[in-house]
Amino acid sequence: MSTISPSLMESVSHENRKFAPPAVFSSAARVNGMEAYRALYERSIADPEAFWAEAASELHWFQPWECVLDSSEAPFFKWFRGSRTNLSYNCLDRHIEEGRGDKVAIHWEGEPGDTLDLSYSDLHREVCRCANVLKKLGVKKGDRIAIYLPMIPELAISVLACARIGAVHSVIFAGFSADSIRDRVLDSEARMVITGDGGYRRGKMLELKKIVDEGVASCDCISDVLVVRRGESHPVDCPMQEGRDHWYHELIGQVDDICPAEEMDAEDLLFLLYTSGTTGKPKGIMHTTAGYQVFSYLTSKYVFDLQPDDVYWCTADVGWITGHTYIVYGILQNGVTQVMYEGAPNHPDEGRFWDIIEKHKVTIFYTAPTAIRAFMKWGDQWVEKHDLSTLRLLGTVGEPINPEAWMWYHKKIGSEKCPIVDTWWQTETGGHMLTPMPGATPTKPGCATLPFFGIEPVILTEEGDEVDAGILAIKKPWPGMLRGIYGDPQRFKDTYWCKWGGKYYFPGDGARRDEDGYIWILGRVDDVVNVSGHRIGTAELESVFVEHKDVAESAVIGIPHEIKGQGLVAFVTVIDGCAQDEHLRKELVAMIDKGIGKFARPERIVFSSDLPKTRSGKIMRRLLRDIAEGRELGNTTTLADPSVVEHLQSQFQDET
Ligand code: PRX
């Protein structure tokens, strides 16, 4: 276990600016002041079952619940036991029944500039047709379906189509490599992949189907590959395998527009989403139906203060949890209009996002700190060319935001009139856990502030004593929490519940509580690194490196990076007598591209003759971080051979 990031601690420890929500915002907000926030929060903690039941009653249920929270098999908590519902019904049918069918659900924009507007009725029709295609291909309730698509409407459509018929989707971010697809498909025993011939990124067409073909070549569980044609105007070479591969646009024309939503049990599996942990193997995080439904709905409603005429835009990809909850399920359940964009923020130029905001009159904008730092670097001129006056609320997600980036966002994008919600949460939590309430909470640059309703955070020592700076823990179960790790219940218990004897959920982050009771997130305390908001386990890279025949051992660490938040540095020990040269470096980078994806490339690969280890053989990553960040070395007395670090330190400096 590593210690809290000293650089992050340093950057926020002197921050004491405070910004009250603008009065005009508060006066019309759902939670209009701290008194209202506290009253609701206290109710949610004093009687969580009543609180969550009231939230759930705003949604549609085929059958109501017998019990809101069943803790009898903790930590396998069950929410809304006995109920029957359907997420796709709550995202679509409910709005049509309540007269919102003609409202735009999605203003979609492709990177080359092609557009499509889908009303809630249009989306309902497309989801029904996609669901009927899945059924026609033999998909049944409970089957796992892998989805590897670019940010095109069919991504949201196929996710909702799975939910409609009770198939379990496992979306794989379209930046992952063929090997990553293979691992996820095999672990979930998926029977189908939905993909596209390609997708646009910075003016280029990524040939997705070819990556899928390579990924599933050895996966006997796959019986069908459904292929969306994205390259209609720029045909892509897309060989189709007879009997296995099907064109989406051909099948969609052969099915009915109506597909009734399956009545799902509260704890039926809704989706799997693989995420990185501290081992070399990603975990299939399990989210089930009813609890996730209510949590995604309520967090969206309050944290984004959603109002009927809002135009919301989240720039995340549906391949990550942010897109699952705050593009698809949470937002659509609230019946608002949103923007969905396929491509890069700097194509055709660095003003693309601001152009989209101006064009669609976006009112709520939710993005990642890494994107904000890139905008800052590109310069204010790109922002100044555009009218962003429709914006009323800003949000950030995925990694700690440095106060400088927060201030730039506040001034340049929000014109000092938009509250910023810095939302801390995880794939595992399903939705927001710590966040300001935009009409209530005075914000501080870089701080996720206070808990959402029903969430009880505490900061603990390793031994479980409450402290002001230490390890973040969550006291009570909440409806959006993960229900397990697919196929590995023991790993679920060990990873999240064992640290303090089953009393608390352990998220893996460090935190500090300030004099106002606000919580500052200080980064991960385990070997997970957050590169541009993408969560990467250092052990995953290490296991890729050691597959190279010349590599004996490796240790990967995260270091601060100006734009990406964190970057990766790999220390690689080569087998005696093998060359340590540029050629080997290139081969190692190519192995990361193939084994994980280009987004996991290290900033730097350092060849080292040995690694600092304790006498019991454990690599001391803390010392590697000290070396990489040019800090004075911490305690080295437990090292088996202290000369290793001295040598590495001078070598690192020489290479810089
Ligand atoms: O370290 C925290 C960081 O991202 C981790 C979760 O990553 P992932 O499951 O990929 O989900 C990202 C989107 C929710 C957390 O353990 N993190 C997320 N949001 C914040 C954050 N760190 C600081 N501030 C945040 N707002």
pLDDT, tens digit (0-9, with 9 covering 90-100), for 30-53: 999 999 999 999 999 999 999 999
Could you give the CA distance from residue 90 to residue 318 in angstroms, rounded to a whole number? 19
* pLDDT at 209 > cutoff 60: yes
- The model's confidence at residue 632, banded by pLDDT at 50, 70 and 90, is confident
**Cβ-Cβ contacts under 8 Å for 496 (sequence gap 6 or more):** 75, 428, 482, 505, 506, 507
- Rounded to a whole number of angstroms, the CA Rg of the chain reads 24
Q: Is the CB of 397 under 6 A from ligand 1?
A: yes
H or E stretch including 291?
helix 290-303
pLDDT digits (tens, 9 = 90+) for 415-472: 999 999 999 999 999 999 999 999 999 999 999 999 999 999 999 999 999 999 999 9
CA atoms within 13 A on the CB side of 150: 27
Q: Which residue's CA is the closest to the ligand 1 atom numbered 25?
A: 424
CA of 426 to the centre of ligand 1 (A): 5
Average predicted confidence (pLDDT) for the chain: 95
pLDDT digits (tens, 9 = 90+) for 306-363: 999 999 999 999 999 999 999 999 999 999 999 999 999 999 999 999 999 999 999 9
Q: The whole model's pTM is what?
A: 0.96
Ligand 1 atom closest to 320 (CA): 10
The residue-averaged pLDDT of 137-155 equals 98
Q: Is the CB of 317 under 6 A from ligand 1?
A: no
Q: Is the CB of 528 under 6 A from ligand 1?
A: no
Q: Tokens 């089957």: give the residue.
A: 143
Q: Annotate 402-429 with b (16+ C-beta within 10 A) or e (fewer).
A: bbebbbbbbebbbeeebbbbbbbbbbbb
Q: Which residue's CA is the closest to the ligand 1 atom numbered 5?
A: 426
Ligand 1 atom closest to 435 (CA): 26
- Could you tell me which of 467, 476, 322, 462 has the C-alpha nearest to residue 399? 322
CA of 255 to the centre of ligand 1 (A): 41
Between strands 469-474 and 457-460, the pairing is antiparallel
Query: 317, 426, 482: which to mutate for ligand 1, most atoms within 8 A of CB?
Result: 426
* pLDDT at 616 > cutoff 90: no
pLDDT value for 242: 97
Query: 7, 367, 424, 441: which to mutate for ligand 1, most atoms within 8 A of CB?
Result: 424
CA of 424 to the centre of ligand 1 (A): 6
* pLDDT at 7 > cutoff 80: no
Query: 406, 530, 534, 536: which to mutate for ligand 1, most atoms within 8 A of CB?
Result: 530
Q: Residue 287: what are its φ and ψ, rounded to 5°?
A: -120, 135
The DSSP annotation for 485-549 comes to ETT-HHHHHHHHTTTTTTSSB--SEEEEE-TTS-EEEEEESSSEEEETTEEEEHHHHHHHHTTST
Q: Which of 174-183, 240-249, 609-618 has the lowest mean pLDDT?
A: 609-618
Q: Is the CB of 164 under 6 A from ligand 1?
A: no
The residue-averaged pLDDT of 183-193 equals 98
Percent of the chain's residues with pLDDT above 70: 98
Q: Is the CB of 424 under 6 A from ligand 1?
A: yes
H or E stretch including 56?
helix 48-56
Q: What are the start-end ranges of the H helices in 189-258?
A: 208-216, 248-252
Q: What is the CATH number of domain 527-655?
A: 3.30.300.30
Residue boundaries of the structural domains of the chain: 23-509, 527-655
Q: Give the angle subtended at the CA of 172 by the CAs of 121 and 117, to the nearest 5°.
A: 25
The residue-averaged pLDDT of 239-247 equals 97
Q: Is the CB of 510 under 6 A from ligand 1?
A: no
Q: Which residue's CA is the closest to the ligand 1 atom numbered 6?
A: 426
Does CATH number 3.40.50.2300 belong to domain 23-509? Answer: no
Q: Is the CB of 275 under 6 A from ligand 1?
A: yes
CA atoms within 13 A on the CB side of 214: 11
- The model's confidence at residue 598, banded by pLDDT at 50, 70 and 90, is very high
pLDDT digits (tens, 9 = 90+) for 54-93: 999 999 999 999 999 999 999 999 999 999 999 999 999 9
- Could you tell me which of 541, 458, 477, 642 has the C-alpha nearest to residue 73? 477
pLDDT value for 1: 46
pLDDT value for 594: 94
CA dist 182 to 93, 284, 286, 598, 654, Å? Answer: 35, 13, 19, 16, 40
pLDDT value for 89: 98
Q: Is the CB of 423 under 6 A from ligand 1?
A: yes
Ligand 1 atom closest to 534 (CA): 10
Q: Is the CB of 427 under 6 A from ligand 1?
A: yes
Q: Tokens 């069950």: give the residue.
A: 78
Give bridge partners of residue 194 from the DSSP assignment: 147, 226
pLDDT value for 2: 47
Whether 487 and 284 have beta carbons less than 8 Å apart is answered as yes
Q: Give the angle subtended at the CA of 79 by the CAs of 55 and 432, to the nearest 5°.
A: 60
Six-digit token string for 375 = 């905008």
Could you give the CA distance from residue 248 to residue 486 in angstroms, rounded to a whole number? 29
- The model's confidence at residue 8, banded by pLDDT at 50, 70 and 90, is low
Q: Is the CB of 509 under 6 A from ligand 1?
A: yes
The residue-averaged pLDDT of 258-285 equals 95
